[in-house]
Structure 1
Amino acid sequence: MKSPCLLPALLALLKFATGYGLASRAYELHRDEYLYLEYGRHLAWGYLEVPPLTALQSWVTLALGGSWFWVKFWPLLWGSLTIYLVGRAVQRLGGGPWAVALAGLGYLLGAYARLNFLFQPNAFEVLAFTAVGYWLICYVQQPAPRWLYAMGAVLGLALLNKYSALFYIGALLAALLLTPLRRVLATRHFWLAAGLALLLWLPNLTWQIGHGLPVLHHMALLRESQLVHVSVAGFWQSQLLMNALSLWVWVPGLLALLLSRRLQPYRVLGLVYVGGLLLLTLLHGKDYYALGYYPLLMAAGAAWWQQWLRSRPRLGRVLRPALLVLPLALSLRMLPLLFPIEPPAGMLAHRARYERVGALRWEDGQNHPLPQDYADMQGWRELADKTWAAYAALPPEARGHTLILADNYGQAGAINYYNRHRRNLPPANSFNGSYLFWQPPAPPGGWQYVLLVEEDPTPGLEKHFQTLQKVGQVRNPYAREQNTRIRLGTHPDAAILAYAAEEHRRELAAWGQF
């Protein structure tokens, strides 16, 4: 008899291979990836944006050379493990090879294609939520303490990965209370597993408290700049679009978990989805925050379809191949939105169609030529090269006396990433996010040259420098950073240096650092 792990393992391998093989090299790393890679140079128990688990991956990536392959290795690994667990969950719920393939296609052709390509905390979060759900299935079938400890360990790591895991934990506890599984809450092993999760999270929790809970300021910034544009209707429209090619799988899966007698022992999984999505709706969470709740719905839906078609063999002969072919056929038109397979010029040829489905709407609520994630993968190498060229043109006495100050973490991170080898460029800095912790001390004699990387050049700075001139500009027409300017200021006066120091203090204070 063939191992039941074989088909899920093949799906995992397919996920990993297609992630590398299909990606267009017209795209660079994503804005956020440059920030997360910078964490690897500054290991700590916390950062202003996210907890430290991503930093450990960054440190390993940089130790291995920091190439594109290793940056993408982590999200593709987490995605491959997720699809493996989906396949195993299908089997535990009574599905055979056809059902495993159906659920696997749902995952491969959903929003996870892009999510598992970007080096961000989201890929591990989806894996963690899926693993907890899978081990819940295992616990229902075999109430052994090891499943509880596995859940405690992965939830502890999830809290070290993203704070949104707290919403999932809240939904999970509510779901347990509403099902017969509430009896597990009275066991010693449950509380020991909960203690394990807390123990793993404790160093970061201590860091947060010691730094004035900067997560609260981060949430406030998100509400003001991004979440304010998230409407209830838009959030739920996105839920349908993100997994549109598996709609006929995860919706029956949700209904079966909530209503089916056969899947009644696993109702907790359906209630976790309901509770988690309710929380995200009320808190105006971003649409992709919910992606971790869907993989096990796909597993349940695929198992339900197989059981339902088993008693309808004539119908099954038609629907079984149709349910596999239909998402593949529909994905041919949607694949460029799911994954950066087509270069920007090709994307623009279909702009009207993409705009109709809301794929070109950015966090500012407006439509743009490319999806936001795609525009965030353009123009960075050009910026880094032009910054290096400006620095290399300075006189020898500028070495050690030049400050590179960027408007945002993407600019600073990209400059540092592309100039990390064979270029003796001082680190770029910013007053944006965790870069506030990494400001270099002024050298003896102070800063004599300043390279300013600006989205919108600040007027009136000329009077504070002996000279101030533009020495570079991002020209890439597809980049979100298009028209970002590089200006060189020589011999800054005391007033502008004092203003910069005060701006640094103000930004730190806003994050609760004073």
Structure 2
Amino acid sequence: MKSFRLLPALLALLRFATGYGLASRAYELHRDEYLYLDYGRHLAWGYLEVPPLTALQSWLTLALGGNWFWVKFWPLLWGSLTIYLVGRAVQRLGGGPWAVALAGLSYLLGAYARLNFLFQPNSFEVLAFTAVGYWLICYVQQPAPRWLYAIGAMLGLALLNKYSALFYIAALVAALLLTPLRRVLATRPFWLAVGLALLLWLPNLAWQIGHGLPVRHHMALLRESQLVHVSVAGFWQSQAIMNVLSLWVWVPGLLALLLSWRLQPYRALGLVYVAGLLLLTLLHGKDYYALGYYPLLLAAGAAWWQQWLSSRPRLGQVLRPALLGLPLALSLRILPLLFTTEPPAGMLALGARYQKLGVLRWEDGRDHPLPQDFADMLGWRELAAKTHAAYAALPAAAQGHTFILTDNYGQAGAINYYNRRHDLPPANSFNGSYLFWQPPTPPGGWQYILLVEEEPTPGLEKHFQTLQTVGEVRNPYARERGTRIRLGFQPDTAILAYTARRHRRELAAWGQF
């Protein structure tokens, strides 16, 4: 019995260990991770991309040295806690050790393997949605106010993590209204929980209002550049692909929550999925926005399978090992996608195998040789090293009068991360939150500008005494391949005035005046 209680914890340890043990070190950090790490240097109650919870993790990561282990520690921690709650949910729904193993295996071999490897807000969001559902199960079984307060606190943290938590909250309220749990909305503990969630979110909400609600511009940029490529068919195809190795677990789990008399008290969990996925479909949300809605379906599905097979012992002798063994066998074919076990050359050779699955399709809606996440984890160290080499070659007197300007946040963040122990001024960009972090012009102005450009801007030569290419990203697998580093000496007043105007224009677009 004791080992049964420990099984969810053992699954959590397995999730943590596989995250480190099955990762190829041929890959660097992801483009987004560099941006989020720079948040830790500029703590605030809000950022142009996401709320501030990630920044706190970044600050702690940098305080601990900022190495690869600590960067990956946070998503793996959130993933480990998620799988622990999935196991506990199975137990609360009446499942035994086999059902806990089935749900845990389904989580380990799903899209969460890669999600829990990237230092992004997504892993905590999945944990938050899973925890809310788990505590809802606890409340149904034991209607104590503490479960509602826990839900309120977690939803407050979820809002400090990603604004997409608002969609989950809308789906949760709709689900409660459609079930007998609607009576909880009339209780004092429920509204205290609502107040707790709002209190936690209040500093970021005040930051948003005080900065002109930049979230609106962020959503507009997403719609124009990324969400426009998301079709209804593509969104639902991705749902099946991301969870294909657990299809026979989460689908029965959803149906059982919606239709089974035994799980009727927990029907709100199934309705949360229906309402949440409907919202994401209508709003053309990215496919991975939905991943937080699946873990409790895995728990319900595993518990349903155990209950169904318990009355069919002879069939259970066949299906129990098959349901555990089949996903393991099938996962061998897609293991490099789940755990980044293959270096870039190996992934390139396997590309044709995965093309039909849609995993080679990038945000631009086109297929590429590597999955986008993989290409986004290459070339950064090379870029940072070549930028530092160009800066180190400058005269000592000029180094304090050098401005590093990049095209995007990934470039700026990578240069800052890999040179965090070097005497290098922070790299800057007109992209996202870097607009807040521009340094003041030093006395005497800028003597040199180091330009990091995906495509060199034509005609800049006439604005410098000299402008020369001093480096280029040559990693053949990197999304940043071809990015050039150009060094400009003695920029004229026209280019400096243009730079200042562009900075003001970009800030104005975000509602910053």
Q: Same fold (TM over 0.5)?
A: yes
For residues 168-187 of structure 1, the aligned pairs below 5 Å read 168-187=168-187
For residues 464-503 of structure 1, the aligned pairs below 5 Å read 464-503=463-502
Q: CA deviation at 1:3?
A: 5.5
Residue in structure 1 matched with residue 278 of structure 2 by the alignment:
278
Secondary structure of 2:25's counterpart equals coil
Residue in structure 1 matched with residue 189 of structure 2 by the alignment:
189
Unaligned runs of 5+ in 1: none
Mapped partners of 1:133, 1:246: distance in 2: 19
Residue in structure 2 matched with residue 31 of structure 1 by the alignment:
31
Secondary structure of 2:428's counterpart equals strand
Residue in structure 2 matched with residue 266 of structure 1 by the alignment:
266
Mapped partners of 1:64, 1:397: distance in 2: 33
> Which AA in structure 2 matches 1:134?
Y
Residue in structure 1 matched with residue 62 of structure 2 by the alignment:
62
- Segments of 4+ moved more than 3 angstroms: none
Mapped partners of 1:309, 1:469: distance in 2: 71
Residue in structure 1 matched with residue 215 of structure 2 by the alignment:
215
Q: CA deviation at 1:2?
A: 1.0
Residue in structure 1 matched with residue 446 of structure 2 by the alignment:
447
Mapped partners of 2:69, 2:48: distance in 1: 27
What's the RMSD between the two structures over aligned residues?
0.5
Mapped partners of 2:173, 2:456: distance in 1: 50
Secondary structure of 2:485's counterpart equals strand
Q: Deviations 1:290-330 (Å, cap 9, x if unpaired)?
A: 00000000000000000000000000000000000000000
Q: CA deviation at 1:331?
A: 0.2
Mapped partners of 1:146, 1:75: distance in 2: 27
Q: Answer with 397-406 or 141-150: which moved more.
A: 397-406
For residues 41-440 of structure 1, the aligned pairs below 5 Å read 41-421=41-421, 423-440=422-439
Q: Deviations 1:121-163 (Å, cap 9, x if unpaired)?
A: 0000000000000000000000000000000000000000000
> Which AA in structure 1 matches 2:295?
P
> Which AA in structure 1 matches 2:487?
L
> Which AA in structure 2 matches 1:41?
R
Mapped partners of 1:142, 1:365: distance in 2: 48
Mapped partners of 1:31, 1:339: distance in 2: 18
Mapped partners of 2:189, 2:295: distance in 1: 27
Mapped partners of 2:4, 2:203: distance in 1: 39
Secondary structure of 2:299's counterpart equals helix
Mapped partners of 1:185, 1:23: distance in 2: 45
> Which AA in structure 2 matches 1:94?
G
**TM-score, L = length of structure 1:** 0.99
Mapped partners of 1:458, 1:71: distance in 2: 34
Residue in structure 2 matched with residue 458 of structure 1 by the alignment:
457
Q: CA deviation at 1:5?
A: 3.1
Secondary structure of 2:49's counterpart equals coil
Q: CA deviation at 1:335?
A: 1.1
Secondary structure of 1:405's counterpart equals strand
**TM-score, L = length of structure 2:** 1.00
Secondary structure of 1:490's counterpart equals strand
Q: CA deviation at 1:4?
A: 4.3
Mapped partners of 1:4, 1:193: distance in 2: 32
Q: Answer with 140-149 or 395-404: which moved more.
A: 395-404
Secondary structure of 1:327's counterpart equals helix
Mapped partners of 1:131, 1:496: distance in 2: 52
Q: CA deviation at 1:213?
A: 0.2
Equivalent residues, number? 513
Mapped partners of 2:255, 2:359: distance in 1: 28
Residue in structure 2 matched with residue 22 of structure 1 by the alignment:
22
Q: CA deviation at 1:349?
A: 1.2
Q: Answer with 60-69 or 336-345: which moved more.
A: 336-345
Q: Deviations 1:405-434 (Å, cap 9, x if unpaired)?
A: 00000000000000011x211110001000
Secondary structure of 1:491's counterpart equals strand
Unaligned runs of 5+ in 2: none
> Which AA in structure 2 matches 1:5?
R
Q: Percent identity?
A: 88
Mapped partners of 2:339, 2:503: distance in 1: 38
Secondary structure of 1:46's counterpart equals coil
Q: Deviations 1:372-413 (Å, cap 9, x if unpaired)?
A: 000000000000000001111111221200000000000000
Mapped partners of 1:311, 1:161: distance in 2: 44
> Which AA in structure 2 matches 1:195?
G
